Chain A
Amino acid sequence: MPDAFESVYQVLGKDFSNAGKVSTSIKDTLKRLGISPAIVRRVAIISYEAEMNLVMYASRGKMALSVSREAVTLNVHDEGPGIPDVSLAMQEGYSTATAEMREMGFGAGMGLPNIKRCVDKMNLESTPGKGTKLEMFINLQPEDSFRESGYFDSEDKSSS
Chain B
Amino acid sequence: MSLQEVIEKLNLSVLTDPKDFSELTPSGGYAADLLSCVMAGAKQRNLWITLQAHLNIVAVAALLDLTAVIITEGAAPDAGTIAKANEEGVTLLSTNRPTFEVVGTLWELGIRQG
Contacts and interface: CB of A to CB of B under 8 A. Distances in A.
Q: How large is the interface on B (under 10, 10 to 19, 20 to 34, 35 or more residues)?
A: 20 to 34
Nearest to A21: B59
Nearest to B33: A105
B37 interface: yes
**Consensus secondary structure, chain B interface:** helix
Chain A interface main SS type? helix
B72 to A, nearest CB: 13
B34 A110 contact: yes
B55 A16 contact: yes
Interface stretch (A42-50, A66-74, A127-135, A144-152): A42-50
Interface string A98-122: 0000001110101100100100000
Contacts of A19: 55-56, 59
28 contacts: A19-B56, A19-B59, A20-B56, A20-B58, A20-B59, A20-B60, A24-B59, A24-B62, A24-B63, A41-B64, A44-B39, A44-B63, A45-B39, A45-B40, A45-B63, A48-B63, A52-B35, A104-B54, A105-B34, A106-B34, A106-B35, A106-B56, A108-B35, A108-B37, A110-B34, A110-B37, A110-B40, A114-B36
